[in-house]
Structure 1
Amino acid sequence: MTAAVGTLPVAQAPARRDIGLKRRYAAETRFRWYGRVAISIGVIFLAVMLISIVSKGYTSFMQTSVLLPITFDAKVIDPQDKRATDPSVLIKANYPNLARDALAARLGISPDDKPQMAALKGFISDGVRTQLRDMVVADPSIIGTTRDVWVLASANIDSAYKGQIDLGVAETNRKVSDKQVGFMNKLRDEGVMAGKFNTGLFVNGASSRPETSGMGVAIIGSFYMMLIVLLLALPIGVAASIYLEEFAKKTRLTDIIEVNINNLAAVPSIVFGLLGLAVFINFLGLPRSAALVGGLVLTLMTLPTIIIATRAALAAVPPSIRSAALGLGASKTQAVFQHVLPLATPGILTGTIIGLARALGETAPLLLIGMVAFVADYPTTPLDPATALPVQIYMWANEAERAFVERMSGAIIILLVFLMVMNITAIVLRRRFERRW
């Protein structure tokens, strides 16, 4: 005999409960697998991206160079012996001829062998002109002597030496001739041609030649901009957050301000570039391509992030801290600045570093204020023309030369390292100094 429970007999109720539990467990298992699949897909895409970048860019940290016995012939550098009265003759000399003759001597080629000498054209980088000129200008006493100098190979020879050019195809279908390949193999076998660490990638400015181009100007420009953002966005953002969170009364005006701050944090970065172009360049007349303008634009973009993070850090401090300080006779200002703000500092630092990391990787607003210009000289002040790391990557991506793609990937690796260091620093600071209430 069974008693009815609702519409089910008592004997059938446990069986129905078991079925319901199995369905719930099955749904939970499926959800866990959905999460694992989603994470796996994300990790796969991240791995593909990193592998693609690293595989194309790691070779940019090495540059093919040739050791040549350069004879600084006075007949080529200063044939009329005017350097004592006119030092400019040292700048105008035909230094590439010195390097070409040294290369011909190294390969055992006679200067009268026109076909062989023609094959040497394009083997050494044109940047040898600047390299040898700087050596002579710095020390004119080397004129008339022979010095062993490591000079850069051209971009095509560098790519061939690194195995990035298929030498098995017909000579007409590649930029490196068979004679140049023979020269390259001979120099490599003699141990005078090798891949050396590419310091120029970090110290050189922009150049039309891939082998001599670098990120030096972009690194300095990014440093200036990040310094400006830190000096302006941090104090302004913290001050605004303290006022809104601790002192401002909850009125319609403060509600409007809070809504607009949250909206500004989601505004596309290119809009801040348009604002900077209209206000800082067209209205205030600040110079285009200057790190100062870039820093001001990135400050406007970073402020909402810092304000939101700072307010969250201030709100996380328990009200009992404020009450205890006020109960002991502290003023409102003393309670905020001497008790609440120090406890909220870890959260403020984390938000600031994350904001700086976001600003460091921005490109669109900088393009609109002219920081995409070709800048070869180091900026000495924030008012000088400069560029930034993400903009330099953008410029190299638009170049047709194969070697620029290699440098673009190398620059991406360096930028990712900077961003990883900044984000890891933010995580370490948060875990090191955060307090749980």
Structure 2
Amino acid sequence: MSENTLTTPKPFDWSSPEAAAIRKRRYAADRRLRLYGLASIITAIGLLGILIASLIITGHTAFVQTHIAVEFTVDPENVPADDPASGNFRAVVADAAQKLFPDVDDAAEQRVASRILSNGTPNILRDYVVANPEIIGQTITLKVPASDPFDQLNKGVIDRDLPEDRRRVSDTEIALFETLEERGLVTTPFNWGLFLNADSRFPELAGLAGAITGSFYALLVCFVISFPLGIAAAIYLEEFAPRNRWTDLVEVNINNLAAVPSIVFGLLGLAVFIQIFGLPRSAPLVGGLVLALMTLPTMIIVTRAALKSIPPSIREAALGVGASKHEVILHHVLPLAVPGILTGTIIGLAQALGETAPLLLIGMNAFLTSPPGGIMDPATALPTQIFIWADSPERGFVSRTSAAILVLLGFLIFMNAFAIYLRQRFERRW
């Protein structure tokens, strides 16, 4: 046999100790990979749990509000029957505050007693009398909010055992408040005002009604604009547009716009919609337009992905029975793609709901004491309301900030859960 003759290599023995060591290393690497993934998931869930727990611990007190039952004598001398809105309700409230403590004769203590009630009590009483003018001349009992320091005192945020110089309330004020508690005049019901009241300088009266309404109007404008435009653009690019350098350029720019920081869209809205077109600042119309610009690239990308997921056999079968191009798309392809389109739409709107930077640039962070009446009225939104409260120096806004974040998270979770339901309910697997 020649020296250059090739010899057949000996087959590897997979039952040998060397093969066992190789398998052992592979199995160990597989276990490590699974453990890394599991550790990542546990870490993410743990951090999310810490965030939610901290918000609940800080914000749960905002969902209840301290109220005090007060008797008000609506004297016709202070509140004229022909024009109750112009009445001197501060005098009525001052008289009622004095009657809460009939044994207090000192003028300084009487002023302390009047500070237990919220500064917005005259406005609350005025609205009630204007809505019920027949009570003029009578004595009524209303449960009105306590001022923020006494609200925190009742909730335990202010420690009564601390030295007086380290508390917002004095020993005299605590003694007067405890007198009301002993008489059963202090209650802590659910704080519906957090959802029904607009913003206020007084934490005990501040609510999210204006922000929720403003977010609704802005999302409505965003949906009306981005939904049809996004679907139309996606259908054209996916079904009709020729494949050339111009359509490639458009697709690249759409993908790039989806990654542009939201503050850039806010600058665009400020320059175009407000400065050039002269639309009102702080209006939900402008906010909705800016959010629509921000959401439109995502809508186009999601709709194109939904259209691509439809099997080509659907198009071929429809064309085979004589359907035209637009009939194939409108009657067959688009209805089958609707579940994916709706899912992407809801997720895009949920992203728009949480945006803050573009709304701050167009002025949707104004202090407003009433909800907007339409898309042209000044308004705030939930993210900007959270920003405003977080920047407020009053202690009572700390809990309300966390409560507002929980409300915003609740809306986002609901919208994403609804998107998941739509996908599972209507999705077809091919």
Structure 1-normalised TM-score? 0.93
> Does residue 236 of structure 2 align to residue 243 of structure 1?
yes
Take 2:288 and 2:133, find their aligned partners in 1: how far apart are those partners? 42
Take 2:11 and 2:212, find their aligned partners in 1: how far apart are those partners? 78
Deviation at 1:12, TM superposition (A): 9.1
Deviation at 1:238, TM superposition (A): 0.3
Identify the match of residue 305 of structure 1 among 278, 286, 298: 298
Query: Are 2:98 and 2:114, in contact at CA under 8 Å, matched by a contact in 1?
Result: no
Deviation at 1:92, TM superposition (A): 4.1
Take 2:308 and 2:11, find their aligned partners in 1: how far apart are those partners? 55
Deviation at 1:137, TM superposition (A): 2.3
Take 2:363 and 2:141, find their aligned partners in 1: how far apart are those partners? 42
Query: Are 2:200 and 2:206, in contact at CA under 8 Å, matched by a contact in 1?
Result: yes
> Does residue 111 of structure 2 align to residue 109 of structure 1?
no
Take 1:157 and 1:12, find their aligned partners in 2: how far apart are those partners? 79
**Percent identity between the two aligned chains:** 51
> Does residue 330 of structure 2 align to residue 328 of structure 1?
no
Deviation at 1:9, TM superposition (A): 9.2
Question: What count of residue pairs does the alignment treat as equivalent?
Answer: 424
> Does residue 170 of structure 2 align to residue 177 of structure 1?
yes
Q: Deviations over 1:373-422 (max 9, x none)?
A: 11112211201100101100000000011110111111111111100000
Structure 1 residues 370, 9: CA separation in 2 closer, same or farther (over 3 Å shift)? closer
1:155 aligned partner: 148
Take 1:11 and 1:252, find their aligned partners in 2: how far apart are those partners? 56
Structure 1 residues 338, 10: CA separation in 2 closer, same or farther (over 3 Å shift)? closer
Q: Deviations over 1:21-55 (max 9, x none)?
A: 10000000111111111111111110100000111
Deviation at 1:231, TM superposition (A): 0.8
**Counterparts of residues 119-268 of structure 1 (less than 5 Å):** 119-268=112-261
2:4 aligned partner: none
Identify the match of residue 47 of structure 1 among 43, 46, 49: 49
Deviation at 1:306, TM superposition (A): 0.8
Deviation at 1:103, TM superposition (A): 3.3
Structure 2, gaps ≥5 residues long:
1-6
1:414 aligned partner: 407
Take 2:324 and 2:129, find their aligned partners in 1: how far apart are those partners? 69
Take 2:365 and 2:261, find their aligned partners in 1: how far apart are those partners? 19
Query: Are 1:100 and 1:120, in contact at CA under 8 Å, matched by a contact in 2?
Result: no
1:31 aligned partner: 33
Q: Which moved more, 1:331-340 or 1:182-191?
A: 182-191
Q: Deviations over 1:306-360 (max 9, x none)?
A: 1111100000000000000000000010001100000000000000000000000
Take 2:148 and 2:353, find their aligned partners in 1: how far apart are those partners? 29
3-state SS of the aligned residue for 2:364?
coil
Query: Are 1:63 and 1:152, in contact at CA under 8 Å, matched by a contact in 2?
Result: yes
Identify the match of residue 280 of structure 1 among 262, 266, 273: 273
> Does residue 421 of structure 2 align to residue 434 of structure 1?
no
3-state SS of the aligned residue for 2:268?
helix
Q: Deviations over 1:138-188 (max 9, x none)?
A: 333322210011111001110110000122212122111212212222222
Query: Are 1:289 and 1:387, in contact at CA under 8 Å, matched by a contact in 2?
Result: yes
Identify the match of residue 57 of structure 1 among 56, 59, 71: 59
Amino acid of the structure 1 residue aligned with 2:34: R
Query: Are 2:287 and 2:362, in contact at CA under 8 Å, matched by a contact in 1?
Result: yes
Take 2:237 and 2:354, find their aligned partners in 1: how far apart are those partners? 29
3-state SS of the aligned residue for 1:125?
coil
**Counterparts of residues 366-377 of structure 1 (less than 5 Å):** 366-377=359-370
